[in-house]
Amino acid sequence: MDKEPMTLAGYNKITGDLEFLKKSERPETVIALEEARQLGDLKENAEYHSAKDKLKLIDFQIAELNAVISKAVIIDPATLPHNKVSFGSTVSLVDSNTDEELTYMIVGGVESNAEKGMISFNSPLAKQLMGKEEGDEVKATLPGGVRTFEVLGVCYKEIILQ
């Protein structure tokens, strides 16, 4: 069975999402389905079909979250050294061609959110950054082509998920 590394913040977020689906969203949808069923002819009952589809989606999400939780391995990045890029590190880079400065935090797959600068440890860039330290040059083969970065700094910052 594959393991899914994540921080405690990521684990708490997905278990919270699962609880919400199980205790709130699913029961409300079951009630809506039952109410729609009582409206009569199910063939042309849009409310019934909508609630039925929503229930299928919720059940799929519950199964998916349960699968992730069953594979979860909680890692506390605060306990890891961050003189080199590792799980939980915040990495400051500069693109050698454009002088664009970028900052990424290396996190678990369930926590990743590229728009917020949080990339999965399994992403192409993160894989090529692992083990690098301040001053290192990295030629990263990415989906958009090869880019060259210089590592400006590596540190640990607490992960905050919303």
- CA distance linking residue 115 with residue 94, whole number of Å: 18
Q: What is the CA radius of gyration of the chain?
A: 21
Question: Could you tell me the domains of the chain?
Answer: 4-74 (1.10.287.180), 79-156 (3.10.50.30)
Task: Please provide the distance, in angstroms rounded to a whole number, between the alpha carbons at the two ends of the chain.
Answer: 29
pTM: 0.79
Query: β-pairing, 145-156 with 89-95?
Result: antiparallel
Task: Scan for tokens 């540190």, then name that residue.
Answer: 155
3-class SS of residue 75:
coil
pLDDT tens for each residue of the chain, 162 residues long: 588 899 998 999 999 999 999 999 999 999 999 988 887 777 778 888 899 999 999 999 999 999 999 999 999 998 988 999 999 999 999 999 899 999 999 999 888 998 899 999 999 999 999 999 999 999 998 888 899 999 999 999 888 776
